[in-house]
Structure 1
């Protein structure tokens, strides 16, 4: 299988950052985006001023608003569009797909409660062995700037080894993992926990509270992974604990910033407007609410985030509810 060209679906910060990172290893990188201005900027100025202002993109990166064209041109496809739009985008692709497709989006489809690997298989005529997931602690701007980053590539081991050798760069390192379910759950649920830790910081709850939320949040992530068929140990790796720590504490985290704003009393809609980009945790928490009911599992942090975001529960009241829950043994 020849892997000389790459197609990236999504011209936001993450899609552009991945195009920049992988442009070191591929002869040509094609980027698809809906927004004509962004596409024109990438082609004429070699910059995505809306999402990654100030970062000069390599000359071998070109962009287009033609989805079919971009999808066809690459020997490998990376998906970096908002989770809830993945099915809609892929439904526009015609014909059998006989090349690897890597999901770099993070979340759970709200309507079906399906992971994106399943959505990809349902939306495309593609073999299971060709579907992969890329996840881990990776802020888009730092990836685009070439700062050292380590992530997980999950999927079929044999083909995964070939992708790993092609996609690894001097600053972007991929570790293989066959647990495609656990890797996806980690990437999705950590965004919700990051909203909680951000809200705690906005309320001024201190370092102790942040550490407690991260630790118990990791436990919630593991519970969800298990009910979906993932391995608990996966959540202690890059796509679980690593991504959680980054997103819950990093200043570039959209989910943490959103939580910080609502913790300071900013209304939800205004907080979303101030963040200015998709806050995946706001969508994912709706899926987690459904999962907790349908699977019969207790997800106290996720449920309280849902109440704050969608039911108007004041963040200060949310803290009281969490702290006054029935005492119990620490489960690991």
Structure 2
């Protein structure tokens, strides 16, 4: 029996995927869920059918609906709650977390209303944890493929290198490669904003616009991500890495991406409410679009793709009209815009 224990909060698809990685690395993993029924299914059948289908979970994973039981004895706690629920879940966890625990989050979004990054939320709710040791995990990583042990590469970021390296050591194995990065802001912003561009990519595919349009959307979308990310304090180079272009590509092009699927349904004329009901899981890109639109105003940066998606999602604008608006913008110079987004050092 392993003496290492980890807790994963909560038991969605990504939480279950990361729990599987930790179990393969000889951690005894407690997977927390709000649902007693879901916990019973995982413990009885080794399955989490709603989120990971018929993929059998490792024996080292156990599930519980009791937070105290989940966190008891854990040396590592991994939060994978939806962005809108992170604060509440962290509050529930606070009484049971020791200051020496390694805390990682793998949530890609901002808190609605406050527009705060997830490490900021965790720092406020878990004051016993050194804020410099809070770790974010991001990168191109679909849970469905991680559970199948497909080769996957991600990045972990923390202000303190020792914390990032602890997370790296806990998670890295033969199919799950982990890099470290000191740029917490850039990694979190990249992971959140790529969901917006994925919505746009799905919408473009739903309209039947083809590969040319999607390639342009991804490329120009990265420029928007970097523009806001650098304005918020992120490092330009982060957006050319796994949490930037890497996550953006996989989310905009994969059948596993719920943000792409939501955009595709919107492009086919489905109303937003129906799309979200059909998805049955959180589509982070919808809430993030509203937040990013507000942040672009706050930081005074141009984000035309985000602006048009905001109009489609929340103001009833027709998708084709939004595309026409983007294509009809004033002429500009690409290199000047890249320098504006990434910094003058990118000027060759």
What does 1:141-220 align with in structure 2 at a 5 Å threshold? 141-155=144-158, 156-220=160-224
The size of the alignment, in residue pairs, is 331
Following TM superposition, by how much is the alpha carbon of 1:96 offset from its aligned partner in structure 2, in angstroms?
A: 5.2
Tell me the equivalent position of 2:343: none
Indicate if the aligned counterparts of 1:7 and 1:73 stay in contact, CA closer than 8 A.
no
Query: Equivalents in 2 of 1:275, 1:73: separation in Å?
Result: 36
Tell me the equivalent position of 2:346: none
- Higher helix fraction: Structure 1 or Structure 2? 2
Following TM superposition, by how much is the alpha carbon of 1:157 offset from its aligned partner in structure 2, in angstroms?
A: 1.3
Tell me the equivalent position of 1:90: 90
Query: Equivalents in 1 of 2:41, 2:311: separation in Å?
Result: 40
Tell me the equivalent position of 2:78: 78
Indicate if the aligned counterparts of 2:238 and 2:244 stay in contact, CA closer than 8 A.
yes
Following TM superposition, by how much is the alpha carbon of 1:273 offset from its aligned partner in structure 2, in angstroms?
A: 1.6
What does 1:177-326 align with in structure 2 at a 5 Å threshold? 177-326=181-330
Indicate if the aligned counterparts of 2:135 and 2:167 stay in contact, CA closer than 8 A.
no
Query: C-alpha offsets along residues 275-321 of structure 1, whole Å, 9 cap, x if unaligned?
Result: 22110000111111110111111111111111111111111111111
Q: Which runs of 5+ in 1 are unaligned?
A: none
Indicate if the aligned counterparts of 1:3 and 1:76 stay in contact, CA closer than 8 A.
no
Tell me the equivalent position of 1:7: 7
Query: Equivalents in 2 of 1:296, 1:175: separation in Å?
Result: 32
Q: Which runs of 5+ in 2 are unaligned?
A: 339-348
Following TM superposition, by how much is the alpha carbon of 1:72 offset from its aligned partner in structure 2, in angstroms?
A: 3.2
Query: Equivalents in 2 of 1:284, 1:26: separation in Å?
Result: 35
| TM-score (norm. length: structure 2) | 0.92
Query: C-alpha offsets along residues 250-288 of structure 1, whole Å, 9 cap, x if unaligned?
Result: 011000000000001111111112222110000111111
Query: Equivalents in 2 of 1:46, 1:303: separation in Å?
Result: 44
Indicate if the aligned counterparts of 1:136 and 1:239 stay in contact, CA closer than 8 A.
yes
Give the 3-state SS of the residue equivalent to 2:51 in structure 1: coil
Following TM superposition, by how much is the alpha carbon of 1:91 offset from its aligned partner in structure 2, in angstroms?
A: 1.4
Tell me the C-alpha RMSD between the 2 structures.
1.4
Indicate if the aligned counterparts of 1:137 and 1:239 stay in contact, CA closer than 8 A.
yes
Following TM superposition, by how much is the alpha carbon of 1:86 offset from its aligned partner in structure 2, in angstroms?
A: 0.2
Query: Equivalents in 1 of 2:198, 2:309: separation in Å?
Result: 10
Query: Equivalents in 2 of 1:298, 1:3: separation in Å?
Result: 51
Q: 2:105 aligns with which of 80, 100, 103?
A: 103
Deviation above 4 Å: which 4+ runs of structure 1? Answer: none
Query: Equivalents in 1 of 2:255, 2:15: separation in Å?
Result: 20
Give the 3-state SS of the residue equivalent to 1:51 in structure 2: helix
Query: C-alpha offsets along residues 166-196 of structure 1, whole Å, 9 cap, x if unaligned?
Result: 3211111100111111001110000000000
Indicate if the aligned counterparts of 2:134 and 2:163 stay in contact, CA closer than 8 A.
no
Following TM superposition, by how much is the alpha carbon of 1:242 offset from its aligned partner in structure 2, in angstroms?
A: 0.4
Query: Equivalents in 1 of 2:305, 2:165: separation in Å?
Result: 37
Indicate yes or no: 2:134 matched with 1:118: no
Query: Equivalents in 1 of 2:312, 2:165: separation in Å?
Result: 43
Following TM superposition, by how much is the alpha carbon of 1:109 offset from its aligned partner in structure 2, in angstroms?
A: 1.3
Query: Equivalents in 1 of 2:274, 2:116: separation in Å?
Result: 29
Indicate if the aligned counterparts of 2:228 and 2:299 stay in contact, CA closer than 8 A.
no
Following TM superposition, by how much is the alpha carbon of 1:39 offset from its aligned partner in structure 2, in angstroms?
A: 1.0
| TM-score (norm. length: structure 1) | 0.97
Query: Equivalents in 1 of 2:326, 2:73: separation in Å?
Result: 51
Query: Equivalents in 2 of 1:3, 1:328: separation in Å?
Result: 59
